[in-house]
């Protein structure tokens, strides 16, 4: 009605403020708007796959901004690197969900009413329905069955087939009205409500969660507290006290590589981390494993295996003969053969601080051009190839430093392939004396490390539940046929004065219903079983 | 260590490769036969038209000139196909179609052998890389098609469906040949079986409904043109049911496929949660699965929105399918993301 007014009368204010709001609401909650917003949502998601996204690949976004600064800045201005948290994407889905709520609330009300309403009244002419039929049965005097009995039996019969029925024995033409498929609308509503549930769970649940990363070398223990994380990202409403102090110790990490295939030789086929866990400081230790696709579930948090590599164990002695550094050093794999880069810092070395950078080769070999390479991902012949430095490591100015990067600004080179001293080449168990009595470095052994993501997301369970309900609702809604059926009894007297009794039935589909025809056949069969059809009496 | 991997049977893998190639040839032959049937059907329709015209004339003569009759109000081709897509007696004459269907069955058997033997050779489900997605996916499309053919006369779609299967299989064997190998750890999960198999089955159904929606649009345009008094440009469309019947049939298939796709997306989220520590992260593949889902949800909505049924909703189904194809090809090959298992 409001729409009509709008067309005739351009002066919008004539509608009044309340009228305007009503009109806007009616527009927003119309099917047309829902459809439009849905399609808009699909279109709006696409740039999220075209441009790198900060939430997924922050490095790629940074690289994009350096490579194409002008275009990048414009893209950034339109939040194209943050599509799924952007103002415009949010606007679309928030409008869509408002529209959705505005749409389902009245439908719930209407359907609640429909559930209490009896099936629709019997049409006067069933032969107009898409499926219908008649057959003659024995008359009341012949069989002694009353109309009321027939009506009640027919109602029972329809009820058994899932119809909701109303027997209408009164009147000249006794009949049964039946309808089935109310669950179609219930399924549809369940589906749409569950969508709201998913969105709400994501929004609320997610903000109580947190995520973090940690590198663990064999033998090391992670205790769940803020200081133990290498990096940590809290949700909006995260509270530090919610961290339960469980612990995870990495005993051993195993990798299996493909040793049979000629085409995929050396491809990893299994990663397993053997860990010892404690649910709380007092709890007993448990032996568990973490594998790809099989995270460790501990106190509501999940620990995922996301990376691995070698951590050579080294000891650095300084110029005074004291141990300046000793322990495993995490190296970063560069290729499938685990050729890895590493940096060693010995800030406690005296008189000068010492630093090293170079490679670990798990299976050292020389290729045809004379370069040192790793020939196998397993540590068959591990070797360290390092350059060394002395001077100021730059750790004292208080700025946080990346442990994987050696800042060589204030350092002097000691060993390098290009220097007379040459590079350091160390096999397992070997020690190298640094030039000028600066100290020594020894390669004591090799351990493996794993990188884990630790994640606590309280939205998981509610999202899973709502998703399950949505799927259920969807299936119910799409596969429940909605039908109406009527059965009538017509008593009359034919030309020869004989009593006649005719059963008439008709079916009507509401919406798409390919099986209406077979339903009609089945119904006729059942009706005829109940009251056998008779030939015309006396013929 | 709880994770013993089966040994790979290289010889059997090579047999599988051979049969894939042979199946592709057989499908190509079936495709030609289907095309031949279409061409012949145009002729058949003209013959039937001529004979009904003759019959009509007879009726007119018998009934006496001047008395108007409405003997034939059915559209052209009604004798060859009906709207519930049942087999009709007149279509018995379609020799070429029979040959095409037999060839398709032969292709499906060989293809099935190839897929199963690859699975046995690798000791796992045969969908772990692009070659396997394509070869197994095309098998499911062909299988669904022949199974539906048992009950419904969908031979009018043969050229399209078997053409597509041929292209997919050739794409697999020529574009992405990959010898049998173990799965990378990320794919060693029973979710691979669930998630990917349902995705492939849903895609196969979407393929069939896509073909119907395209035919629906063509039929629609053709009937409009004929009604406007223009010549029938695609007489072979006489063996294709009416636009309305195609639309309804496509809708039913799309509804089933949509539920399966919804399940695929959810299963993917569960798997992602186990594998990557989050159930949804807007990875490229996730973005596109979402887009596809929303477009098809839009399609289902459109069917219930005034003014959007018929050709418009058919377009949405077609767009949804194009997104699906895009997701499967361009995104798999050119976009990088966590789902980079194409084996390229
Ligand atoms: C979050 C966005 C939405 C999504 C993803 C969505 C999805 C769907 C899907 C998949 C269907 C078909 C399955 C079924 O019948 O249950 C459907 C049906 C329906 N939706 Fe939505 N919907 C959304 C929002 C809305 C909104 C805002 C409205 C109201 C304006 C609405 C009203 C309806 C109605 C009335 C049907 C039934 C159509 C019929 O009778 O076939 N939906 N929706």
Average pLDDT over residues B90-111: 88
Task: Please state whether beta strands A353-361 and A431-433 pair in parallel, antiparallel, or not at all (unpaired).
Answer: unpaired
Q: A343, A405 in Cβ contact below 8 A?
A: yes
Across the range A404-424, mean pLDDT stands at 86
| Of the candidates B281, B295, B282, B298, the residue with the CA atom closest to the CA atom of residue B324 | B295
Percent with pLDDT over 70 in chain A: 95
Tens of pLDDT, residues A14-48: 678 888 888 888 888 889 999 999 999 999 999 99
Tokens of A66: 């350096």
Question: Residue B194: pLDDT above 80?
Answer: yes
For residue A400, the model assigns a pLDDT of 65
Mutate to test the pocket of ligand 1, among A31, A34, A477, A511 (most ligand atoms within 8 A of CB): A34
Mutate: best of B13, B194, B198, B298, partner A, most A CBs <10 A: B298
Interface probe, candidates A3, A39, A471, chain B, greatest B C-beta count within 10 A: A39
Distance (Å) of CA A351 to CA A316, A415, B179, B222, B227: 14, 18, 59, 92, 99
Instruction: Identify the DSSP state of A307.
Output: E
pLDDT for B74? 40
Helices B243-276, B311-326: axis angle to 10 degrees equals 30
Confidence grade of residue B306 (pLDDT, cut at 50, 70, 90): confident
pLDDT attached to residue A468: 97
The model's pLDDT over A432-458, given as tens digits with 9 standing for 90+, comes to 999 888 899 999 999 999 999 898 888
Alpha helices in A147-181 (DSSP H): 147-160
Q: What is the pLDDT of residue A185?
A: 94
Question: Distance (Å) from the C-alpha of residue B83 to the closest C-alpha of chain A?
Answer: 12
Whole-angstrom Cα distance, residue B338 to residue B268?
12
Q: What percent of chain A has pLDDT over 90?
A: 55
Compute the residue count for chain A: 539
What is the reported pLDDT for B69? Answer: 36
Lowest mean pLDDT among A183-187, A338-342, A396-400, B335-339: B335-339
pLDDT digits over A130-163, tens only? 999 999 898 888 888 888 999 999 999 999 999 9
| Contact at CB, A45 and B298, closer than 8 angstroms | no
For strands A499-509 and A340-346, give the pairing: unpaired
CA–CA dist A505, A176 (Å, integer): 9
Task: Please give the Cα distance from A423 to A384 (Å, whole number).
Answer: 10
Residue A141 has a pLDDT of 83
Distance B304 CA to ligand 1 centre (A): 9
Residue B117 burial (CB < 10 Å; 0-12/13-18/19+)? buried
Measured distance CA(A324)–CA(A317) in Å, rounded: 5
Whole-angstrom Cα distance, residue B283 to residue A423?
43
Map residue A191 onto helix, strand or coil.
helix
Higher pLDDT pick, B336 / A517: A517
Give the pLDDT of residue B78.
Answer: 52
Return the percentage of chain B with pLDDT > 70, whole number. 82
Could you tell me if B200 and B324 are in contact, meaning their C-beta atoms sit under 8 angstroms apart? no
B278-303: pLDDT as tens digits: 889 898 889 999 999 999 999 999 98
User: Is the confidence at residue B60, as pLDDT, over 90?
Assistant: no
CA atoms of B82 and B92, how far apart (whole Å): 14
Whole-Å CA distances, B276 to A306, A454, B3: 8, 11, 20
Residue of B143, B275, B250, B271 lying closest to B196 (CA atoms): B271
pLDDT band at B65, cuts 50/70/90? Answer: very low
Å between A18 CA and nearest CA of chain B = 27
| CB contact set of B233 (below 8 Å; sequence gap of 6+) | B222, B225
pLDDT at B315 over 50: yes
Residue of minimum CA distance from atom 22 in ligand 1: A192
Check if A95 has its Cβ closer than 6 Å to any atom of ligand 1. no
Q: Which of A488-502, B8-22, B103-117, B274-288 has the highest mean pLDDT?
A: B103-117
Contact (CB, 8 A) for B89 and B250: no
Atom of ligand 1 nearest to the CA of A103: 29
Please give the helix or strand (H or E) that residue A22 lies within, else none: helix A16-28
- Mean pLDDT, chain B, rounded, equals 82
Q: pLDDT higher for A211 or B264?
A: B264
CA distance A52 to A64: 8
Which pLDDT score is estimated for A423?
Answer: 87
CA-to-CA dists, residue A144 to A172, A173, A492, A534, B278, angstroms: 18, 18, 16, 15, 71
Give every CB contact of residue A218 below 8 A, 6+ residues apart in sequence: A250, A251, A252, A253, A311, A328, A447, A448, A449
Mean pLDDT, rounded, of chain A: 88
Whether the pLDDT of residue B177 is over 90: the answer is no
Any residues with CB less than 8 A from the CB of A209 and at least 6 apart, and which? A235, A238, A455, A456, A457, A458, A459
Residue A215: predicted pLDDT: 93
**Looking at this predicted complex, what is its ipTM?**
0.84
Confidence of residue A317 (pLDDT cuts 50, 70, 90): very high
A184 neighbors A482 (Cβ within 8 angstroms): yes
Ligand 1 pocket, residue A96 CB under 6 Å: yes
Per-residue pLDDT for A11 more than 70? no
**How would DSSP label each residue in A33-62?**
HHHHHHHHHHHHHTHHHHS--TTT-HHHHH
Q: Which atom of ligand 1 is nearest to the CA of B262?
A: 10
pLDDT of residue A410: 85
Q: What is the pLDDT of residue A40?
A: 96
pLDDT score recorded for residue B339: 52
Q: What is the pLDDT of residue B76?
A: 46
Helices (H), chain B: 10-63, 95-122, 130-151, 158-170, 190-191, 197-227, 243-276, 284-302, 311-326, 332-334
* pLDDT in the model for residue B253: 93
Angle ∠(A263,A268,A271) on CA atoms, nearest 5: 165
């Amino acid at each position: 009605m409001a729409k009509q007014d709008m067309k005739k009368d351009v002066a919008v204010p004539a509608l009044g403020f309340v009228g305007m709001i009503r009109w806007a609401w009616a527009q927003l909650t119309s099917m047309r708007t829902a459809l439009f917003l849905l399609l808009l949502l699909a279109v709006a998601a696409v740039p999220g796959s075209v441009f790198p996204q900060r939430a997924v690949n922050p490095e790629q976004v940074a690289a994009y901004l350096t490579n194409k600064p002008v275009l990048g800045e414009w893209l950034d201005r339109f939040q194209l690197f943050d599509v799924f948290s952007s103002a415009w994407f949010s606007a679309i889905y928030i409008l869509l969900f408002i529209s959705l709520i505005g749409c389902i609330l009245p439908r719930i009300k209407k359907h609640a009413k429909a559930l209490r309403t009896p099936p629709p009244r019997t049409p006067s002419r069933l032969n107009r329905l898409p499926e219908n039929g008649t057959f003659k049965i024995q008359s009341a005097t012949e069989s002694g069955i009353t109309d009321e009995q027939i009506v009640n039996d027919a109602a029972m019969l329809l009820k058994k087939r899932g119809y909701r029925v109303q027997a209408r024995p009164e009147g000249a033409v006794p009949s049964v009205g039946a309808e089935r498929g109310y669950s179609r609308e219930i399924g549809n509503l369940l589906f749409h409500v569950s969508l709201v549930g998913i969105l709400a769970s994501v929004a609320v649940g997610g903000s109580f969660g947190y995520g973090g990363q940690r590198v663990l070398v064999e033998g090391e223990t992670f205790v769940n507290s803020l200081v133990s994380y290498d990096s940590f990202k809290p949700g909006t409403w995260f509270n530090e006290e919610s961290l339960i102090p469980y612990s995870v110790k990495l005993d051993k990490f195993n990798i299996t590589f493909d040793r049979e295939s000629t085409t995929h030789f050396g491809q990893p086929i299994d990663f397993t981390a053997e860990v010892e866990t404690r649910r709380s400081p007092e709890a007993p230790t448990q032996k568990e494993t973490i594998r790809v696709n099989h995270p460790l579930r501990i106190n509501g948090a999940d620990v995922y295996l996301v990376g691995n590599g070698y951590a050579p164990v080294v000891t650095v002695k300084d110029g005074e003969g004291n141990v300046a550094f000793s322990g495993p050093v995490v190296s970063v794999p560069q290729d499938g053969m685990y050729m890895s880069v590493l940096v060693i810092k010995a800030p406690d070395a005296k008189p000068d601080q010492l630093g090293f950078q170079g490679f670990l080769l798990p299976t050292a070999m020389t290729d045809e051009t004379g370069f040192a390479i790793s020939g196998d991902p397993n540590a068959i012949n591990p070797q360290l190839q390092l350059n060394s430095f002395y001077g100021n490591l730059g750790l004292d100015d208080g700025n946080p430093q990346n442990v994987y990067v050696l800042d060589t600004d204030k350092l002097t080179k000691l060993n390098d392939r290009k220097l007379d001293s040459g590079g350091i080449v160390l096999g397992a168990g070997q020690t190298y004396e640094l030039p000028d009595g600066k100290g020594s470095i020894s390669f004591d052994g090799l351990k493996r490390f794993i990188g884990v993501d630790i994640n606590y997301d309280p939205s998981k369970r509610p999202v899973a539940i709502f998703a399950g309900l949505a799927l259920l609702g969807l299936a119910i809604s799409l596969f429940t046929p909605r039908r109406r059926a009527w059965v009538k009894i017509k008593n009359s007297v034919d030309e020869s004065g004989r009593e006649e009794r005719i059963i008439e039935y008709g079916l009507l589909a509401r919406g798409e219903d390919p099986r209406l025809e077979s339903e009609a056949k089945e119904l006729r069969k059942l009706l005829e079983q109940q009251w056998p059809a008779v030939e015309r009496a006396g013929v | 260590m709880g994770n013993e991997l089966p040994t790979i049977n290289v010889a059997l893998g090579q047999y599988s490769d051979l049969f894939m190639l042979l199946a592709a040839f057989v499908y190509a032959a079936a495709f030609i036969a289907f095309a031949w049937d279409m061409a012949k059907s145009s002729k058949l329709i003209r013959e039937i038209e001529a004979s009904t015209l003759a019959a009509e004339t007879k009726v007119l003569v018998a009934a006496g000139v001047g008395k108007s009759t409405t003997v034939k109000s059915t559209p052209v081709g009604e004798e060859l196909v009906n709207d519930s897509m049942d087999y009709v007696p007149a279509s018995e004459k379609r020799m070429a179609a029979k040959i095409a269907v037999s060839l398709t069955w032969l292709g499906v058997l060989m293809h099935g052998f190839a897929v199963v033997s690859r699975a046995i050779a690798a000791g796992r489900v045969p969908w772990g890389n692009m070659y396997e997605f394509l070869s197994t996916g095309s098998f499911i499309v062909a299988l669904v098609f022949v199974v539906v053919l048992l009950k419904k006369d969908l031979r009018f779609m043969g050229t399209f469906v078997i053409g597509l299967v041929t292209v997919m299989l050739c794409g697999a064997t020529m574009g992405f040949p990959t010898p049998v190998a173990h799965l990378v750890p990320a794919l060693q999960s029973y979710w691979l079986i669930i998630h990917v198999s349902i995705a492939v089955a849903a895609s196969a159904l979407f393929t069939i409904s896509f073909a119907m929606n395209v035919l629906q649009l063509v039929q629609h345009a053709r009937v409009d043109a004929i009604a406007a008094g223009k010549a029938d440009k695609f007489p072979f469309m006489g063996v294709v049911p009416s636009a309305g019947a195609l639309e309804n049939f496509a809708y039913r298939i799309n509804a089933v496929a949509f539920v399966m796709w919804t399940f695929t997306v959810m299963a993917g989220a569960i798997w992602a949660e186990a594998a990557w520590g989050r159930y949804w992260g807007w990875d490229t593949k996730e973005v596109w699965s979402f887009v596809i889902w929303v477009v098809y949800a839009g399609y289902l909505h459109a069917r219930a929105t005034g003014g959007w049924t018929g050709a418009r909703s058919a377009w949405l189904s077609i767009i949804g399918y194009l997104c699906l194809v895009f997701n499967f090809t361009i995104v798999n090959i050119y976009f990088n993301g966590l789902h980079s298992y194409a084996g390229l």
